[in-house]
């Protein structure tokens, strides 16, 4: 089985990482990803990611607020530290945040994150 440098790096990071911090803010009730939203990528799933998810890591300069809906005015449901790792399930096109209109559904924290602050190791993320 061939592996890429990004995959080896991710595996090493997962094996050597310590505890990742997540601080809850308010309620953790979230909306499920919409099924009719437009997104980009279109092929991670079984093709570019790992099963039906793509690995992602928060690359924000500080705490990243993740939201109930894919919009910057939606309620914040969690705050993630840079380096936090989660599964990116899918992507939608929504209101632009910091110049990027794409939003990722993070399946572990069950919240939406602006795509510009989540690195997916160059892997494509499927549409929601």
Task: Render pLDDT for 8-62 as a digit per residue (tens, 0 to 9).
Answer: 443 444 333 332 333 334 434 444 444 333 334 433 344 445 557 899 999 999 9
Contact 42, 127 (CB under 8 A): yes
**pLDDT, tens only, 81-120:** 999 999 999 999 999 999 999 999 999 999 999 999 999 9
What confidence category does residue 6 fall into, taking pLDDT thresholds of 50, 70 and 90? very low
pLDDT at residue 53, as a whole number: 81
**How far apart, in whole angstroms, are the C-alpha atoms of residue 65 and residue 25?**
9
> What is the DSSP code (8-state) at residue 127?
B
Q: What is the dihedral of CA 12, 14, 19, 21, to 10 degrees?
A: 120
Q: Determine the Cα–Cα distance for residues 6 and 103; give it in Å rounded to an integer.
A: 22
Tell me, what's the pLDDT at 1? Answer: 36
From the list 76, 120, 70, the residue with the least C-alpha distance to 95 is 70
């Amino acid at each position: 089985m061939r592996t890429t440098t990004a995959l080896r790096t991710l595996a090493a990071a997962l094996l050597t990482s310590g505890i990742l911090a997540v601080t809850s803010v308010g309620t953790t009730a979230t909306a499920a990803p919409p099924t009719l939203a437009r997104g980009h990528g279109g092929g991670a799933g079984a093709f570019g990611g790992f099963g039906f998810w793509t690995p992602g890591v928060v690359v924000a300069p500080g705490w990243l607020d993740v939201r109930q809906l894919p919009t910057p005015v939606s309620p914040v449901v969690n705050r993630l530290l840079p380096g936090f790792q989660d599964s990116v399930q899918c992507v939608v096109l929504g209101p632009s945040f910091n110049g990027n209109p794409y939003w990722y559904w993070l399946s572990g924290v069950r919240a939406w994150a602006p795509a510009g602050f989540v690195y997916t190791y160059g892997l494509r993320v499927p549409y929601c």
